[in-house]
Amino acid sequence: MTALLGALVVGVGQAAAMPQSPAPTGADPVTTLIENLLKGLTTPGAPAVPGAAETRQMIVATAPVATSQTATLTAFEKDDAGKWVPVIGPTEADLGEKGMGKAQDNVYRTPQGTFPLNVAFGRQDKPEGTKMEYFKTTPRDWWDSNMKSPTYNTHVISDVSPGADSENLYNMGPVYDYAVNINHNPNRTPGDASAMFLHVSNGEPTWGCVAIARDKMIEVLKWLDPAKNPQMTIGVNVDAPQEAPAAKLPQGDLLGGIVGNLAGLIPNMLSGAAS
């Protein structure tokens, strides 16, 4: 028992120090990349995403430097063999005027990390085949960006603005013909930014959203499936797993260390019991 507890403690330290596991010999590099990204699905302070381990759809937007106003976006899907396969893109994407990093209200910066995609909307009818929850907007649809509002960072239906910099999802124009929410601030913490979407590009840097060509946005909407727990990673050089930007949740490292060391100890314990 003493040896078991000691190994568990060592494992916790190892999990925190080395969050990325070496790829098994012969492993597909794209699958290894996506699996490593999925180890960091939550931002600090955010609740774990239910079913995150079963994510089968992932969009990756990668840029060479954090200050870049453009990125390369590719959508991946895990096939029945467990391999991540590119299904849309690569295609160019617009980022915030200030690139990517820590998202803040009133700062035109795209959030960096891995986040769920949870609801879609648009000024146009829902594209045929869309499986995600989708609402068609009118001038009464807003996304509340008022940091003092109880409905901050949510969709609000109202004849008047919720206040501050709240966005009218219809009057914003064609960029919101089709969009999906990047759920980067699930706790709705004032100051950590609201209204971050994947939407239609107008060819210019965004206020913090990620934007792609209209035809690609429609293609993404038709492809997204909530049953496959879609996620989106935004980062710098995320094609190199060790550089993946997604934040790690300490509890996840703790659990990973415990499980990993238990897995290694059990065969030895069973062997000892048999002898």
Q: Distances in Å between the alpha carbon of 153 and those of 37, 107, 137, 163, 190?
A: 25, 15, 17, 12, 8
144-165: average pLDDT: 96
**Single pTM value for the model:** 0.72
pLDDT at residue 187, as a whole number: 96
- 42: in domain: no
Q: Tens of pLDDT along 99-146?
A: 999 999 999 999 999 999 999 999 999 999 999 999 999 999 999 999
Mean of the pLDDT values across residues 191-199? 97
- 221 burial level (CB within 10 Å; 0-12, 13-18, 19+): buried
Domain that holds residue 197: 49-246
Note whether residue 261 is domain-resident: no
Token look-up 């965004």 returns 206
Mean pLDDT computed over every residue of the chain: 78
Q: Which DSSP symbol is given to 247?
A: P
* Residue 62, domain member (yes or no): yes
Q: In the predicted model, what is the mean pLDDT of residues 193-200?
A: 98
Residue 258 is assigned to a structural domain of this protein: no
Structural domains of the chain, count: 1
- Residues 249-273, mean pLDDT to the nearest whole number: 37
Is 60 exceeded by the pLDDT of residue 47?
no
Residue 112 within any structural domain of the chain? yes
H, E, C per residue of 34-50: HHHHHCCCCCCCCCCCC
Q: Is 177 left (phi over 0), alpha (psi -120 to 50) or beta?
A: alpha
pLDDT on residue 27: 58
Say if residue 1's pLDDT is above 90.
Answer: no
Q: What is the pLDDT of residue 191?
A: 96
Domain annotation covers residue 9 = no
Closest Cα to residue 246, out of 232, 228, 230, 256?
232
Query: Which residue intervals of the chain are DSSP H helices?
Result: 2-17, 29-38, 214-223, 250-274
For residue range 214-246, what is the model confidence (pLDDT) as tens digits? Answer: 999 999 999 999 999 999 999 999 863 222 333
Whole-angstrom distance, CA of residue 164 vs CA of residue 98: 21
In a domain, 127, yes or no: yes
Note whether residue 131 is domain-resident.
yes
Q: Which long-range contacts (CB under 8 A, 24 or more apart) does 146-151 make?
A: 147/105, 147/190, 147/191, 148/190
